[in-house]
Structure 1
Amino acid sequence: MNTSTDATPIGSRPYRSHKVPACDLCRNRKIRCNIDVAGEPCRFCRERHLSCEYTSKATVDDGLRPPPAKRRRTHADDHDVATPVKSTERGLAQFPSIAGTSPEESSIMLNPPMAEDIEVLEHYLSSASGASSGKPYRLVSSSTEKPIIYLTVPRRRKGLSAASDPGKTQREIIEQILGPNKEDVVALYFDRIHPAFPIVDAKTFYEMWHRDPSEISSALLCDIYTTAVVFWNTSERLRQYSKPDFVFLWNQAVAALQEDFLGPTISTVHASLLDLVGRPVLSITGNIMTLGKTVTLAHSLGLHRDPTSWKATSHEKDIRIRLWWGVYIHDTWSSLAHGTPPLIHAQTHDVPLPQASSLSASGATDAHKRSAQTFLHLCQLSTVLGDLLPFVYSLKPDKVELDRSLRRVECKLDDWESSLPPWLRRSNGELDLVNGASSLHFCFLSVKLLLKRIAYRVSIWVLRFSFHPRSFAEQATSMQADGVAAEARPYHLAMLRQSALELTDYVCFLKEPQLDDFWLPYTAHLLVSTTTILLRCLLESADVTTKRDCATMLVRVQARLECARAESNWDLVDFCLERCSEPVAKIATAMGITRHPTAGGMPTTELASVFNDTDTSMLSTLPEDFLLSVDSLDYPFDTLWDISF
């Protein structure tokens, strides 16, 4: 890279620029502040070996701040930080369109080949002409192998009027409903949701909240308010008041987010991730659409690239890393739950895992630090799930390599489980009360179930698509292979059934404190898929005892979910109760199983006194479509979980 002071590389300060202020020495001397090398002191200070400092506030790319109105001095300008900031520490703040603080401009990342070409052309043209103003490109990483260059584009559609603070009206409505309790709701968010899903920088948020809450993005604040309402009754202060209508609050938050998407910035990604993690789930199709826009926006902002070598502050890098992993978690688990192929692929992102030390504030409690660890392990588990999803959605799978690939993924899952700290492992069937730990273990069992499900599908492929031999030797080989495949199918079905029983048994032992913890909203869909698999395993099994065990567990888990809904108001069970109660009841009736709830709310089951092969024949009289009514948009599990073939 040419570092000559005569050159004017990408990112230089335009002449008399107001967006990029002059340093203190140049401003005092009233001379031109020529930043001819991006990320370095100005030319005047560098040649004299002086400290190039700025007393004006450097806006940090924290994603919390709404963009300032056009040609207006924002309220934040009245709170300038007096601490000098060196030019090498200003990070992305020197590029307002990248940092998301420009009212009229935005930036999109160029594809790698284009970035390489632009870097060469810019160096040549800048060296030849010496011009430095009006450049549409911004270099944030000058790596010779992977230069990162952003292109400045208009932030909003031409001719479309948009609010300077999207979501302000909805924010005022929500704050009017919450009244004096809004600070308690914010505290509830940072106590119940943020530790297990730390995508918002708590320190920056509270600094802006105490200084001037209007500095915070309205769309983001709407989602913070609304996501915390589901935990209303867990707060001693808030439970004294009536719980607001969460449907109305969510409609306001969604409207604010859609308004923010008209001129998106990095704060839009924050708000979208909270919108997707919110409960209860009111619109599956809406969430799928929001995720698609969020993933695309994250890619255009360059969140999918490793920022560790960028000319940015450590704070900016940490935020970008956490944001990307929040996007990745939603993409993988939404794909599993909603039946849509993942939008993110392993070959197209290189963001490292978050550092454990960056996930919690300096004054965080031990409980919050442990909860933040669950987020880190969830990121790792999501990568294992990401390796499995291609086997689910590939239309032309390599059936020869499938079995070997599945074994590799199974080893990764075992390694993940072995890496868990003791307080995140189940001992004697119990988990420590760490916020987010119960959801993490449920996700682990769901990935394990998916792995067994795919293995069972592969065993059927081997049996169905065995080649047709021509010679006597080929015929003998084919008969031997068919025999192995025929034995493999019952084995994999048994492993699938055992995995489903393990997951449902775990759900039955969840206590109220665990139900009140942070849970991914995709749990609601995974409960349905687990019950569906167990129903299928019951019908596919030829053993009477196995049928009885499956039916007993189905009745038991349905009763436990009903108790969780009635006593703990656990909204994640609604889908499962709505879709699976009828088929489970029909199975129980056909097999003579009755349920007797105990005083503690944990159900017990009693089998009919006589249970023989004649009784199992009753199952064949059930209608073919008695299991579930499948909607291709609302409940597309027929492709993901179908084991009838």
Structure 2
Amino acid sequence: MTTAVAIQPAMPRAAPIPIAAARPRKEKPPPAGKENIVSGKPVSATAGPVANIRTRRERPCDACRRRKSRCVIHEGAVLCVLCDFHKQECTFVQSPLPRKRKVVDGGKKDSPNNQKKRSVEAEPPPLALPTPTITATAPSPPPPQLPLASARAHIAHLGETLGLQRRQHSRYIGLSSPFDSILIGLSHFDTRNESTFDLGTLRRVNDHECFIMLPDENTQEYADEVDTLNQVERLVHPHGPSLLNLYFRIVHPSFPIVQKHLFVERYRNGDRTFSPSLMAGMYILALNWWSIDPKLASYPKPDSAQLEAIAMRSLTVAMERPKLSTIQAGLLLLQRPEADSWSLTTQLVAIGQELGLHLDCSSWSIPLWERGLRKRIACALYMQDKWSSLIHGRPSHIFSANWAVRPINDDDFKEEGDGYDTRQEESEEEKEDNERGQVLFAEMIGLTEIMAEVMDTFYTQVAIHDFKNAGQKSTELILARAKPVQIKLRNWHEKLPQSVKMHAPTKSKLCSTGYLHLAYFATEITLHRRIVQSLDPTNHDPYGFFMCRNAAKTRLISAMDFVNRLKPEHLQSFWYFASKINFTLIGTFGSLLWATAPTQEEAEFYKTRLREYRWTLSVSSKRAEFLDYAVAMLDASRAMLNNLAEKPSLAQQISSAGVPPAAASSSSHMMGPPYGSGGGYMEPQSPEDVDMDDEGLELSRMHSGDSFQGFGSEGYEQFGGSRSGSGRQTAEGSLVGDTPQSR
């Protein structure tokens, strides 16, 4: 079992990050496209206060220099914003303050070891990408870099964003913070909805929400960010473009948390301002499909362990200057098959709140495409928190009372207006994959909301206390609370679009719909698991006891048969991070039913099915290695079940109850699976015929059908049993009408 990677704590600090003005910057012409820089004052024919206009573009005015504040002059204005606000003269006559320099030995002053590190104020060199599209390249020396002016021209528009600016980051100002909303309203905001003062720059996005913009250069290790990105690129060189192709082809469609066209165009044009942790995260995920690209398979695979180490260190540092790229990188790193970090999840939730991702951004004064990107990232963060809560059995950190994000819609996936008018047209196949991926992403969000309700209804400390106080009526209380959640789950499944059902044609391409349906079964199992845990045969009437266990048995069989039907194109595709545990939960549920079975015959039935399930997982793990974890957990559960006391047979139970043998024979199908000469058994009714009414579970009718037999029987004997699928009949579907034909 792979050890989970947890994010390392940030370096110790003597004090919190100060909200202070930026340090004086070097005297140099600002790069084209620098955020919040506008054209200089108009040159006048007459001399006077504006005679030294040329120097304005090289340094701030004298007053802003003394305040150590950013100097902003609107086009056509004579005074900068702060001088105009303070009703004072805006001059450029004072000389820059002298910088303190370290004393070095005369003979070693110019030696390489004593040269100062590259300043982050200097524009970093662009990415070296010779190809017009993101395509694979053979090993070769790094090509010449793109012109600096080209890189500048293609990233100028990022200054209009709230969460993707290059040299500053935003922090949300809450209502109870020292920045009172009424006092903020008294500030003078310019046409960019910004107000500069000594502590930073206020950025108002609407009449109610405001952020403070702070310089990145005041945070730790900011000067090393370019070098870190170079380390990442060197590890994958020259295969970076090919890995990005794999990422956008396999991961991105069903997990669209990156602005694809914006990213691709920035990459092509040599932008060197990407987050190192984000780039590493994209490369790490793409490496999982290294062998399926014929151009990559013939080369040695880059060292993913080194990439992960750099990514985690870089992410820790980036948390001090949080941006949308920080959340994107963290979410991608958590999708690794071996990643399982509860602490990183909680940190990302906190950073997301600092960035205002929990708010409704639909009316904010930010680019339209950034609104959609923020909503997609917010929804991905919501799902990360909720599914982490389930698989770890720990409290969620996102509550509905403080979650104002509106439901995602088609407009939130549009990328027009991101500053790039020239982009490659997608093929019909790419459009189809992206559309299906968007539906898949949206449906996963809806299912997560239902799963979160299951957790809130049955697994919070308040709910556990309520069920405990209910005593012998706990099952009745659980069933009453389960009904509305069950209806929502059924309605969700009935409205599932055809494009994301399991029977939808895949055209021999990788398809990620498996993780959605697996999450559906995990949600059902999480609900029925709570019901089974509450059952006590000594305190319930036999019919109700049988009905609850029969419904649970049907869920288990449907889930196991779903895993049997997974094809290579499903197994080798992208699986959501919780999938590893969701596969395990199916086995855990089977072990629970085995441990609580009232008769020896029923226990043997679950024992046999678990053997079959283990065999299926072991065979499937050849195409999906993360399934090895589920196999190991099944073995751990089996070891625990070795301590299970021997159960009475069905005949012994009926005999002790005084029932004649004839009656026992006719009713045996209700208490356990009778085995025939062929090793088969009669399955319970199909789940679509089981539902909950006001009085609990009710059986409508029974029928059965042929079941998929899995991957064959070779090698199964090594797990201590023989397959019984050849002579058995199984339930078709699930509680909400999910049949093999409809999935």
Q: TM-score, normalised by structure 2?
A: 0.61
Residues 102, 217 of structure 1: alpha-carbon distance in 2 compared, 3 angstrom cutoff: closer
Residues 118, 229 of structure 1: alpha-carbon distance in 2 compared, 3 angstrom cutoff: same
Contact conserved, 1:501 with 1:534, CA < 8 A, in 2?
no
| Cα distance in 2, alignment partners of residues 429 and 533 from structure 1 | 31
- 2:443 pairs, out of 345, 366, 377, with 377
- 1:162 pairs, out of 191, 212, 221, with 221
| Cα distance in 2, alignment partners of residues 263 and 428 from structure 1 | 44
Residues 360, 509 of structure 1: alpha-carbon distance in 2 compared, 3 angstrom cutoff: farther
Q: Give the letter aligned to residue 140 of structure 1.
A: R
Give the 5 Å matches for 1:8-87: 20-22=36-38, 27=42, 70-73=120-123, 78-79=149-150
CA distances 1:346-390 after superposition (whole Å, capped 9, x unpaired): 111111233335436673421232122111111111111121222
Contact conserved, 1:174 with 1:222, CA < 8 A, in 2?
yes
Aligned to 1:505: 561
Residues 429, 392 of structure 1: alpha-carbon distance in 2 compared, 3 angstrom cutoff: farther
Aligned to 1:140: 204
Contact conserved, 2:439 with 2:500, CA < 8 A, in 1?
no
Residues 558, 132 of structure 1: alpha-carbon distance in 2 compared, 3 angstrom cutoff: closer
- 1:265 pairs, out of 294, 300, 323, with 323
- 1:563 pairs, out of 615, 619, 632, with 619
Secondary structure of the corresponding residue to residue 577 of structure 2: coil
Give the 5 Å matches for 1:532-543: 532-543=588-599
Aligned to 1:279: 337
**RMSD value over aligned CA atoms?**
4.2
Residues 598, 586 of structure 1: alpha-carbon distance in 2 compared, 3 angstrom cutoff: farther
Q: Give the letter aligned to residue 119 of structure 1.
A: S
Q: Give the letter aligned to residue 438 of structure 2.
A: A
Correspondence 1:292 to 2:346? yes
Secondary structure of the corresponding residue to residue 251 of structure 1: helix
Contact conserved, 1:456 with 1:492, CA < 8 A, in 2?
yes
Correspondence 1:220 to 2:278? yes
CA distances 1:391-419 after superposition (whole Å, capped 9, x unpaired): 34421224587544432222221221122
| Cα distance in 2, alignment partners of residues 185 and 80 from structure 1 | 22
| Higher Cα radius of gyration | 2
Residues 23, 491 of structure 1: alpha-carbon distance in 2 compared, 3 angstrom cutoff: farther
Q: Give the letter aligned to residue 78 of structure 1.
A: A
Residues 601, 137 of structure 1: alpha-carbon distance in 2 compared, 3 angstrom cutoff: farther
How far did residue 445 of structure 1 move? 0.9
Q: Give the letter aligned to residue 122 of structure 2.
A: R
Secondary structure of the corresponding residue to residue 211 of structure 2: strand
| Cα distance in 1, alignment partners of residues 619 and 160 from structure 2 | 56
- 1:391 pairs, out of 457, 463, 482, with 457
How far did residue 483 of structure 1 move? 5.0
Contact conserved, 2:42 with 2:76, CA < 8 A, in 1?
no
Aligned to 2:605: 549
Paired positions, count = 517
How far did residue 234 of structure 1 move? 2.2
Aligned to 1:346: 400
As a proportion of its length, which structure holds more helix? 1
Contact conserved, 2:518 with 2:582, CA < 8 A, in 1?
no
Give identity over the alignment, percent.
18
Q: Give the letter aligned to residue 406 of structure 1.
A: A
Secondary structure of the corresponding residue to residue 340 of structure 1: coil
How far did residue 264 of structure 1 move? 2.9
Residues 315, 427 of structure 1: alpha-carbon distance in 2 compared, 3 angstrom cutoff: closer
| Cα distance in 2, alignment partners of residues 132 and 606 from structure 1 | 74
Aligned to 1:197: 255
Aligned to 1:425: 501
Aligned to 1:367: 433
Correspondence 1:118 to 2:180? yes
| Cα distance in 1, alignment partners of residues 76 and 711 from structure 2 | 81
How far did residue 426 of structure 1 move? 4.0
Residue segments in structure 2 that go unaligned for 5+ positions in a row: 1-29, 45-49, 57-72, 78-117, 127-147, 416-424, 471-476, 648-674, 680-708, 725-743
| Cα distance in 1, alignment partners of residues 440 and 265 from structure 2 | 26
Correspondence 1:232 to 2:290? yes
| Cα distance in 1, alignment partners of residues 534 and 491 from structure 2 | 23
Correspondence 1:606 to 2:722? yes
| Cα distance in 1, alignment partners of residues 521 and 710 from structure 2 | 26
Secondary structure of the corresponding residue to residue 496 of structure 1: helix
Contact conserved, 2:716 with 2:722, CA < 8 A, in 1?
no
Correspondence 1:574 to 2:574? no
Q: Give the letter aligned to residue 630 of structure 2.
A: C
CA distances 1:493-514 after superposition (whole Å, capped 9, x unpaired): 3322321222122112212111
Secondary structure of the corresponding residue to residue 164 of structure 1: helix
Aligned to 2:170: 107
How far did residue 429 of structure 1 move? 13
Residues 504, 168 of structure 1: alpha-carbon distance in 2 compared, 3 angstrom cutoff: farther
CA distances 1:124-176 after superposition (whole Å, capped 9, x unpaired): 4659xxx9641646353434xxx1012345758x7x7413353843x444433
| Cα distance in 2, alignment partners of residues 101 and 83 from structure 1 | 13
Residue segments in structure 1 that go unaligned for 5+ positions in a row: 1-16, 33-40, 46-67, 465-481, 609-645
Contact conserved, 1:338 with 1:525, CA < 8 A, in 2?
no
